[in-house]
Amino acid sequence: MLDGFKKNPPRHIQDILKVSYDGLGKIEKEVFLDIACFFKGWNRNDVIQILEGCDRINPEHSIKVLKEKALIYVDVYGQICMHDLLEEMGKDKVLQESTEPGKRSRLWHHKDVQDVLTENTVRNK
């Protein structure tokens, strides 16, 4: 059903997706946003290793929780998959943190990264 709403999702669909996100614990929310912004399509084991290196607490458990809540799935090749609408919702959450890229918790657009590094506008995120 989500595939039919890719181009113009009704507001109630976004609200339903938000409820699933809001029901997550703090750590699972962080891992969800990491996957939505950076790791969609990456190998599960590589993502776990990277998140452990970033001091995420037990990312393997968080990935399990996200799978149980159907926010992600791992395909037969071990890649973490997420529906486009869920990815968009996660990125929107990060964009809502601030209008200034340097005040956001995550940057995925190369232009934002370049601007933040060039202008040195990082703010405690």
pLDDT digits (tens, 9 = 90+) for 68-121: 999 999 999 999 999 998 999 999 999 999 988 889 999 999 999 998 888 877
Q: Are 71 and 33 in contact (CB under 8 A)?
A: no
Residue 56 has pLDDT above 60, yes or no: yes
CA-derived radius of gyration, the chain: 15
Pairwise CA distance, residues 75 & 41, whole Å: 9
End-to-end Cα spacing for the chain:
36
What integer is the mean pLDDT of 59-70? Answer: 96
Task: Name the more confident of 85 and 47.
Answer: 47
11 confidence band (pLDDT: 50, 70, 90): low
| Percent residues over pLDDT 70 in the chain | 88
Is the pTM higher than 0.95? The answer reads no
The confidence score (pLDDT) of residue 17 equals: 82
Q: Domain 2-98 - what CATH class?
A: mainly alpha
Only one residue has tokens 């601030």, namely 98
Return the beta strands (E) in 3-99 as ranges: 73-74, 80-81
Cα atoms in the Cβ-side hemisphere of radius 13 Å centred on 46: 12
pLDDT at site 7: 57
- Which tokens sit at 59? 């990312």
Q: Quick one: tokens of 18?
A: 């938000």
What's the pLDDT at 116? 87
C-beta of residue 125 within 8 angstroms of C-beta of residue 104:
yes
